[in-house]
Structure 1
């Protein structure tokens, strides 16, 4: 095949240790072991796709069988052995794909073949790619030969799934974990390839290729090949063209989308998303990019422009920094949780596009219920709540939506606060048992509220002291948890004592008694009796009172 007709990933495949990028430590270790004549029975290379596992396996095979010996490995002018190994035609170097030869019979044939020494080189070498695909029986058949092979026999394994290989096999190999290629190294590499191919591409377009490839050299070269082929002769690949080719979009659009979400502008948010969607961006790609930008919003103050790995330019970096200073970290953490959940939902909905739109609207409404850094104490006072150092904004639902135009639906859904409202100053003041329950509700202490309602009978309540009786279902850590929370909320220690008096029945029991009474009274009504005339087997199971609770 003409070298010019090869795809770039094959055309520029490294042939020597010096050609490798990003794996300097691995290269030096292997070269030193060969020079010291301490060659292991088996090498095991593991890492993500496209970072050089099979390539290094072939280079190791060349180094072991090079006719120029270890002191002067072939570099440009290959010897007969190195040339044959590079062309996969050497009689003593057998490459096997474990994905297509997984059975124990294949391994037995391999072992049988290994009994014969090399014909024209120092070592007989078996390169097994995707070795994790071998069956359990095949691995077991290989164990003994792997542990004590003949001196002339060497194994080289490559895998992307190291956890699927039995530990008994891994322990018999010299393992090398290949790392992802750093963005700067990969960028410089594909820039050189572009120049060798006389291609025209801007640095921003190449940086996008680096980002999409996620540290894989093969992916980066394949993307570069695709981009250069898709352009007309003499035309330069710029960022906009690259985004269209690879289905990616300008990150500044996503940053402005975030800003509109924080402002609560529902119309502009949907318009911005549809504009992105019309560029051919798939919903899952959108969500993953959304998560990435969300990460930058949360951690922008601890990052530098260089550490974003070409994901952001200087304008985008500064814009995120500007917007993030107005947003509370807790809002961003909630956004992250909702986004992760939506990513899972995309697999079960038929129209992912509509699901994304609903997701964005949920974020707008969610943002409206969580105070941001701009909210002052007097704004919280309007809702009957004054915050203290322990009062988390995630535990408060405002009656008024902040920094957002509320829809009619939102107005209907927000319920007025309870008649029983705790007095909250710098320390929360709790003056009654009902106020204690209300604080538990505000603070999201659901378990504590449940224990107080169902398993506790109140005997006496006064400032700093609660006297109770309880049933057998009370949690053993109840007193310790309640004491800790009261100290946290009120900044004073409370005495919780047990009484021999039964005290008032629990709130839950009160509700049960009241419900029974309502049902009994309803059964005496003329309406219920008239119902039984027509439906003799009717049974009254629930009654809802229209009267207020205190009546």
Structure 2
């Protein structure tokens, strides 16, 4: 290893414009302004952490004061000014941390100091890091000097929170937005550093570091440093070991988990998640990776392996593409909404692991993909001595009531007290036979499930109705919990698991529209009848607005 024992983030900190990566446009602009002697009164560098804001500020200070000029800025044999700036002890270059000096008095001292010209350099330069931390009064005190400073004075500001800086200050600066470093560029940079450090690390592990760092050079170097330090001598840092060190898991495991969710395999889903959790993965990290993969499943046809920024390899990309061929976009969008909602639930339940497990189970039941019947139903059937088919509920007669009570005895050994309540209880479990869409609406009405009845009549278009399977399309007014609620009620009423699927087909018109259409046809027929035409001759202004069946008047 290199004898220099500094951490990598400091050891490989750029000292010249040529060493900066990913900011070519900014570098060219600053160089040209210095060469043409049109430097601004103040520079403002903004961007995420670790992309080079403070580093660029120091390089600009060097470029402005280097004895050799900006084109021949010192690289190895540093001039007096460059060496002093590098060591942060140049008398004319003052670096201030606004996070610790936020008050107006600190800025007033700065302005007072600015009245005196530079001692040994061409410019007196004030570098203010995290400038957004200054108070409102401090910014106001700075305004006048910032707009019309002496020729020898330059300000360089750096911030991660550009929106917190008053617009009056921003407008007086030449602003540069430092972009995140591209994944491919950051990968090449880390590859070079690992070779210089004689560190053995696989390309897949480097790609994982690039992904975790999210375009931040400092973060990526800190992660690389941590990874190399964990290696034994002559041992390569593999992807699997890197995942353990950084608390990340293999994407193929998450893709496999998705596959079992879509298949409705509850046991496999929980088993895979628990293995991921046992690796020490934080639940919020899991949810964020889950969302990322959801995005890929939804948009895989418009993406390439390169556009995923090393998040997926070729095998994973092709696997997602294969699985997504049989998926419905509306289901994936529902998954997205449920996942976002779960992020908020993580802070409510003390054991976040339980929240994630219940979240995964809800996804299985969300679109009715689970095919296995609940264990409680299986147990009930095992205990039943014969197949029980209870009669439909009728309001009069004792024969049906007696027959029902006798059948209850076959199922349960409960006492024969209050037989009417027992009958009601069993009937609510599995006495209803639903063979058509109309039966379903009728039973919703009988059981006072008014909300479900309203949704079925107004917002659902039936595509196909089969035994234990309903295929529907719907309009935008459909309640988001409709499928979950209906699935639960169907199982409660019939004792069997129903599958409800969403279809891209238009389906039949809703029941409400159908009834409206039928009524309009009846009105049109009546208007053409002889009786109505005779009435119209006697009463020209007569209009038929609505009709009612006799049953509706009762």
Q: When the two structures are superposed, what TM-score results if normalisation uses the length of structure 2?
A: 0.72
Residue aligned with 1:380, SS: strand
What is the rounded CA distance, in whole Å, between the counterparts of 2:511 and 2:99 in structure 1?
72
What is the rounded CA distance, in whole Å, between the counterparts of 1:257 and 1:146 in structure 2?
57
Partner of residue 160, structure 1 = 160
Partner of residue 213, structure 1 = 213
**Residues 427/262 of structure 1: CA separation in 2 closer, same or farther (3 Å cut):** closer
Residue aligned with 1:120, SS: coil
What is the rounded CA distance, in whole Å, between the counterparts of 2:465 and 2:159 in structure 1?
61
1:256-295 correspondence runs (5 A): 256-295=256-295
Residue aligned with 2:218, SS: helix
User: Which of the residues 461, 465, 473 maps onto 2:519?
Assistant: 461
Q: Aligned pair 1:411/2:469, yes or no?
A: no
Q: When the two structures are superposed, what TM-score results if normalisation uses the length of structure 1?
A: 0.73
CA RMSD of superposed structures (Å): 3.6
Q: 1:60-104, CA deviations, whole angstroms, 9 ceiling, x for partnerless residues?
A: 000000101234222332211011101111110000000000000
1:370–1:394 contact (8 Å) kept in structure 2: no
What is the rounded CA distance, in whole Å, between the counterparts of 2:367 and 2:255 in structure 1?
16
Partner of residue 310, structure 1 = 310
2:367–2:483 contact (8 Å) kept in structure 1: no
Q: 1:128-183, CA deviations, whole angstroms, 9 ceiling, x for partnerless residues?
A: 00000000000000000000000000000000000000000000000000000000
Partner of residue 181, structure 2 = 181
What is the rounded CA distance, in whole Å, between the counterparts of 1:427 and 1:278 in structure 2?
46
2:523–2:547 contact (8 Å) kept in structure 1: no
Partner of residue 465, structure 2 = 381
**Residues 394/262 of structure 1: CA separation in 2 closer, same or farther (3 Å cut):** farther
1:226-375 correspondence runs (5 A): 226-368=226-368
2:296–2:320 contact (8 Å) kept in structure 1: yes
What is the rounded CA distance, in whole Å, between the counterparts of 2:54 and 2:163 in structure 1?
18
Residue aligned with 1:156, SS: strand
1:432–1:461 contact (8 Å) kept in structure 2: no
1:23–1:179 contact (8 Å) kept in structure 2: yes
What is the rounded CA distance, in whole Å, between the counterparts of 1:410 and 1:427 in structure 2?
21
**Superposition deviation, residue 4 in structure 1:** 1.2
What is the rounded CA distance, in whole Å, between the counterparts of 2:257 and 2:165 in structure 1?
45
Residue aligned with 1:462, SS: helix
**Residues 394/312 of structure 1: CA separation in 2 closer, same or farther (3 Å cut):** farther
What is the rounded CA distance, in whole Å, between the counterparts of 2:520 and 2:200 in structure 1?
80
Residue aligned with 1:270, SS: helix
**Residues 178/339 of structure 1: CA separation in 2 closer, same or farther (3 Å cut):** same
1:35-50 correspondence runs (5 A): 35-50=35-50
1:46–1:162 contact (8 Å) kept in structure 2: yes
Give unmatched runs, 5+ long, in structure 2.
372-460, 497-504, 525-541
**Superposition deviation, residue 381 in structure 1:** 3.4
1:66–1:73 contact (8 Å) kept in structure 2: yes
Partner of residue 542, structure 1 = none
2:297–2:321 contact (8 Å) kept in structure 1: yes
1:386–1:426 contact (8 Å) kept in structure 2: no
**Residues 435/461 of structure 1: CA separation in 2 closer, same or farther (3 Å cut):** closer
What is the rounded CA distance, in whole Å, between the counterparts of 2:271 and 2:341 in structure 1?
23
Partner of residue 202, structure 1 = 202
Partner of residue 63, structure 2 = 63
Residue aligned with 2:126, SS: strand
What is the rounded CA distance, in whole Å, between the counterparts of 2:350 and 2:119 in structure 1?
61
**Residues 6/415 of structure 1: CA separation in 2 closer, same or farther (3 Å cut):** same
1:3–1:11 contact (8 Å) kept in structure 2: no
**Residues 426/62 of structure 1: CA separation in 2 closer, same or farther (3 Å cut):** closer
**Residues 200/394 of structure 1: CA separation in 2 closer, same or farther (3 Å cut):** farther
The count of corresponding residues between Structure 1 and Structure 2 is: 438
**Residues 464/67 of structure 1: CA separation in 2 closer, same or farther (3 Å cut):** farther
**Residues 277/399 of structure 1: CA separation in 2 closer, same or farther (3 Å cut):** closer
Partner of residue 137, structure 1 = 137
1:108-123 correspondence runs (5 A): 108-123=108-123
Residue aligned with 1:304, SS: coil
Q: Aligned pair 1:7/2:87, yes or no?
A: no
**Superposition deviation, residue 411 in structure 1:** 1.6
1:294–1:332 contact (8 Å) kept in structure 2: yes
What is the rounded CA distance, in whole Å, between the counterparts of 1:83 and 1:77 in structure 2?
9
1:183–1:309 contact (8 Å) kept in structure 2: yes
